[in-house]
Structure 1
Amino acid sequence: MYFAALLARTEDGWEASDTELDDVETLSDLSDLAREALVEAGAEDDTVLVFIEQEDAWFGVVRVDGEDDPRIYVSDAAAAARSSYGEILLTDELLGKEPDVVGDDLEALDLDGTEDGDPEAVDEEVDDGAGADAVPGAEVVPAGPLGDTGILADLGVPEKELLALDVDALSEIADALGASEVLETVR
């Protein structure tokens, strides 16, 4: 079971709204949704937090401050990678890998001759030590926390406390922010 909510900081405190992520496919879509919440709250230059939680498995926090790039924290990247909503948060940048190349960008790359269909390159097998059970092309996502552990430090949740959160983490974060009542209204 998933739970997703937006917390927008306004002059009057935090405003919460539940959110549907069915139409969200990328981090950019999620950031746009968060910025829309800021506009609706009349706090375009302030902070909005997006909380995503899969019960007893992982939680994620995305922080959007005005037009700044979003900051992301995921409590368990490996668990989140098995979730369609978690995949939204696990960007190439967060995982420390080069972004996928699509479309016309492929022509700009110098691919060592394999772009011409070199059959030797296609038939080669690489022994990476992973054994016969390894899935070719599968990404390795680290277990445990990933992202900006200082994402909430200035809001009252230091890195050490964030890393220690597990069950009911979003309620504990909301409590530290002074927003537990507004979060509970949308649960």
Structure 2
Amino acid sequence: MYFAALLARTEDGWEASDTELDDVETLSDLADLAREANPDEDTVLVLIEQEDAWFGVVRVDGEDDPRIYVSDAAAAARSAYGELLLTDELLGRDPGADDVSDLDSLDLDGTEDGDDEDEDEESDEGGPSADAVPHSPVGDSQILDDLGVGEKELRALDAEDALGAIADALGASEVLETVR
């Protein structure tokens, strides 16, 4: 089960709205959606979670490029919403390189068709393959530092209650609960 919400910072505090991501196809579309939520060009956070698996935060400040944090890249790679966030740049890949974010080639367990689940994700050179998506956080772990959630705190959050903990730290838990 997925949940997605926008938190827009205004002069009066945080305003929350649930958001439908079915029509969002790219990170650029998501950033545009966030900018529409706050025409004053203040901070907008897009909070996305897949129950008990992963969460993501996209921060849009005016016309700046969006900043992204994903708690578990491998879990998010198996999700259509996660795929929006896992850009080549975020994963440290060359743009356009073949990768496992091609969900048509993934089984539900995240392995490519024909791959054995127990196979190591190692290349012939002994390092991680170019296709490997880490089972760890990726992105800007300092995305919420100035809002009261430090890097260490963000990395320690459990996917099960992360969005609530973030909203609580921002003083926005009540407004987030109204859209949950």
**TM-score, length-scaled by structure 2:** 0.81
Equivalents in 1 of 2:175, 2:130: separation in Å? 40
1:60-93 CA-to-partner distances (Å, cap 9, x unmatched) read: 0000000000000000000000000000000011
Q: Distance in 2 between matches of 1:3 and 1:68?
A: 25
- Give deviations 1:108-136, integer Å, cap 9, x for gaps: xxxxxxxxxxxxxxxxxxx9439xxxxxx
3-state SS in 2 of match to 1:52 = strand
Q: 1:100 to 1:6 in 2, by over 3 A?
A: same
Aligned to 1:184: 177
- Match for residue 91 of structure 1? 87
- Separation in 1 of the partners of 2:130 and 2:155? 27
Aligned to 1:28: 28
The 1-side partners of 2:74 and 2:95 are apart by 19
1:47 aligns to 2:43 (yes or no): yes
Q: Which segments of 5 or more consecutive residues in structure 1 lack a partner in the other structure?
A: 102-126, 131-136
* Residue-by-residue CA offset, 1:138-187 (whole Å, 9 max, x unaligned): 82111111000000000000000000000210000000000000000000
Question: Which one of the candidate residues 53, 78, 83 is aligned to 1:82?
Answer: 78
Q: Secondary structure at the match of 1:56?
A: coil
Once superposed, which parts of structure 1, at least 4 consecutive aligned residues long, lie more than 2 Å away?
A: 127-130
Alignment equivalent of 1:170, drawn from 150, 163, 168:
163
- In structure 1, how many angstroms separate the alpha carbons of the residues matched to 2:31 and 2:66? 7
CA distance in 2, matches of 1:145, 1:10: 29
Aligned mates of 1:55, 1:85 — CA distance in 2: 13
* Deviation (angstroms), 1:45: 2.2
| 1:94-133 correspondence runs (5 A) | 94-100=90-96, 128-129=123-124
Deviations, residues 24-51 of structure 1 (Å, cap 9, x unaligned): 1110000000000012xxxx22100000
Match of 2:149 in 1: 157
Output the CA distance in 2 between the equivalents of 1:128 and 1:47. 41
Distance in 2 between the 1:89 and 1:128 partners?
25
Take 1:45 and 1:82, find their aligned partners in 2: how far apart are those partners?
A: 32
- CA distance in 1 between partners of 2:141 and 2:156 (Å): 11
Percent identity between matched residues is 80
Question: Could you list the runs of 5+ residues in structure 2 that have no partner in the other structure?
Answer: 98-121
Match of 1:67 among 55, 58, 63: 63
The amino acid that maps onto 2:26 is T
Q: Distance in 2 between matches of 1:12 and 1:19?
A: 21
The DSSP-based 3-state class of the residue aligned with 1:139 is coil
Q: 2:135 is matched with which residue?
A: 143
Count how many residue pairs are aligned between Structure 1 and Structure 2.
152
Choose between structure 1 and 2: higher helix proportion: 1
